[in-house]
Amino acid sequence: MDRRNSPVAHSRPRCALMTLAALMIMGGPSSIAQAQTAIDAPAPRTAAASAEYRINAGDDLDIYVWGEERMQRTVRILPDGTFAIPLAGTIAAMDRTVAQIATEIRTRIAGNFRERVPEVTVTVRNTAGMNFFVVGKVRNPGSYASGRTIDVVQALSMAGGLAEFADAKHAVILRHTRNGQVVEPIALTNVLKGARRLDAGMLPDALPTLRSGDVLVIP
């Protein structure tokens, strides 16, 4: 029998993918990292944070309250997604923008000022918390970091693009939520016709964006 045409031979890649998916579902990103030990994964790369960037645990923020030197400080977002500063107390920062955080700080400290409440500025010093994984049939699978919100096509670009025989039609995002891990199918073929070229015109749907800890799987 020709082993190349054997159903068993053709089933092996699918079985390998199912095994990898099971590892990811059971163990999350840490198990994925262990499963990639045989791959030369690139070092995480970080870009400057944009205004729409949503804060993650591990990020460093610079907080400046105009005219109040005692409140100027750099804080690191704790694993539970919070940080604390004088007069404002504990602030929930996870999955919020710097503008939203600045507004909450200003609202909380308002009662401590008889006259005009000082302006509050919050900027991102370090975006170490925005980490995601790209695994499967891409040129450079591994872990990556970004200083801004990115979509699945941008994530693919960071991973070097699709490898030969990649099945863009069945790509998925694995995501941890408060209710457990979910699998989100993504229709990459709407963007990558034939997994190789873009069609002109407006996309019918917005591209899915990644969150910290997400795993983009290309079978």
| Cβ neighbour number for residue 67 with a 10 Å cutoff | 9
Structure tokens of 77?
């977002």
What are the residues facing 143 on neighbouring strands? 133
55 is a domain residue: no
Q: Do residues 114 and 93 share a domain?
A: yes
The number of domains in the chain is: 2
User: Distance between terminal CA atoms of the chain?
Assistant: 27
71 is a domain residue: yes
Instruction: Let me know: does 105 contact 113? Beta carbons within 8 Å.
Output: no
11 is a domain residue: no
How many residues are present in the chain? 219
Q: Do residues 81 and 137 share a domain?
A: no
4 is a domain residue: no
What is the pLDDT tens value at each position of the chain, 219 positions in all? 454 454 444 434 543 454 355 344 435 444 443 333 323 333 343 444 667 788 988 899 999 999 888 889 999 999 888 999 999 999 999 889 999 999 999 999 999 998 899 999 999 998 876 789 999 999 999 999 887 778 899 999 999 999 999 998 899 999 987 788 899 998 787 667 544 444 555 555 568 889 888 999 999
Q: 115-131 burial, b for 16+ CB within 10 Å, e for fewer?
A: eeebebbbebeebbbbb
CATH code at position 208: 3.10.560.10
d(CA 18, CA 211): 23
Q: Do residues 39 and 136 share a domain?
A: yes
Q: Do residues 140 and 192 share a domain?
A: yes
What are the residues facing 91 on neighbouring strands? 83
Q: Do residues 134 and 103 share a domain?
A: no
d(CA 145, CA 94): 16
106: containing domain: 60-126
Predicted model pTM: 0.57
Q: Do residues 111 and 32 share a domain?
A: no
User: Which residue among 126, 150, 169 closes a domain?
Assistant: 126
184 is a domain residue: yes
CATH code at position 79: 3.30.1950.10
Q: Do residues 72 and 101 share a domain?
A: yes
Using a 10 angstrom Cβ sphere, with 0-12 exposed, 13-18 middle and 19 or more buried, the burial of residue 26 is exposed
User: Which residue among 73, 106, 126 closes a domain?
Assistant: 126
8 is a domain residue: no
User: Which residue among 85, 102, 126 closes a domain?
Assistant: 126
d(CA 87, CA 21): 46
Q: Do residues 36 and 64 share a domain?
A: no
